[in-house]
Amino acid sequence: MRIKGNIRESPYPTFHITPDNHERNKTLNDIFEILLIAPVAILSIMIHECAHGYAALYMGDNTAKIRGRLTLNPIKHIDIFGLICMILFRFGWAKPVPINPMNFRNRKTGMRLVSLAGVTANMILAVLFAVLLRIFVMTDLTYLNIMLIYGIQLNIGYAVFNLMPFPPLDGSKLLATFLPRKYEYYMYKYEKYIYIVLIALIYTGVLSDIMYPIINGVYSAIMNIIISTL
């Protein structure tokens, strides 16, 4: 498939994929598309996981630091299957950062901060990519603009996915901090069974149907704000 861009005619750079008559060109363009997505996907994962670790450290837990997870070394963070899903479906996951909530100065506050740190970092990255896209949108750097669009979409998608209230995602940890202690206990006790619900929602495509309108809405809101202010 071949990626075509429309940069100059609209403040929104729009890209679509059109059929290619030659299978060889199709394969090469698919590979090239992956090469554009992979760097921003890896960066997004690293920043997300480091944000978790530094938030935990701020709240008094140095477990991530001891385990060597406060680093931008992608090998420390990447889950291969999660990275592939992020490249193909615009949402995915990484190796969870180890934390010990019992080390937090305040357990519930610490869990809230750690849970929100990753998605907040991704939203900041999405806005940063949007600003850069606004700056370069009228240039001939077509592939850079494509990469920036992927960066916006991937970071929004990663944030939205992680806010879903299903274990082991950040949203479930955040939700648990607002539950009475008894129900919080049951949520962690049965999280491996709730996890099956998440897998079923991904497999059936229901999760995508829920997420994509949210991702598109957030993407449009960010771009409208950036365009109106820059």
Interval 183-191 mean pLDDT? 88
Predicted confidence band at 121 (pLDDT cuts at 50, 70, 90)? very high
**2 DSSP β-pair partners:** 18
Is 49 annotated in the active site?
Answer: yes
Handedness of CA 149, 152, 158, 161 (dihedral sign): negative
Task: Give the separation between CA 157 and CA 92, rounded to whole angstroms.
Answer: 8
Going by their DSSP bridges, the two strands 14-18 and 2-6 should be labelled as antiparallel
pTM for the full predicted model: 0.83
* pLDDT above 80 (res 4): no
Task: Give the separation between CA 133 and CA 145, rounded to whole angstroms.
Answer: 6
- Closest alpha carbon to 117 in 33, 186, 174, 175: 174
Number of helices and strands (H, E) in the chain?
A: 10, 2
* pLDDT above 50 (res 59): yes
Please report the pLDDT score of residue 135 as a whole number. 92
Task: Give the separation between CA 85 and CA 78, rounded to whole angstroms.
Answer: 12
Interval 100-124 mean pLDDT? 96
Count Cα atoms within 13 angstroms, Cβ side, for 203: 6
The residue from 9, 49, 184, 191 that is catalytic is 49
One-letter identity of residue 74: P
Interval 205-223 mean pLDDT? 93
Residue 18 gets which letter from DSSP? E
Interval 91-111 mean pLDDT? 90
CB 96 within 8 A of CB 170: no
- Closest alpha carbon to 124 in 58, 43, 56, 68: 43
One-letter identity of residue 182: K
Is residue 5 classed as helix, strand or coil in its secondary structure? strand
Please tell me the least confidently modeled range out of 3-7, 31-35, 57-61.
3-7
Please report the pLDDT score of residue 18 as a whole number. 39
Is residue 94 classed as helix, strand or coil in its secondary structure? strand
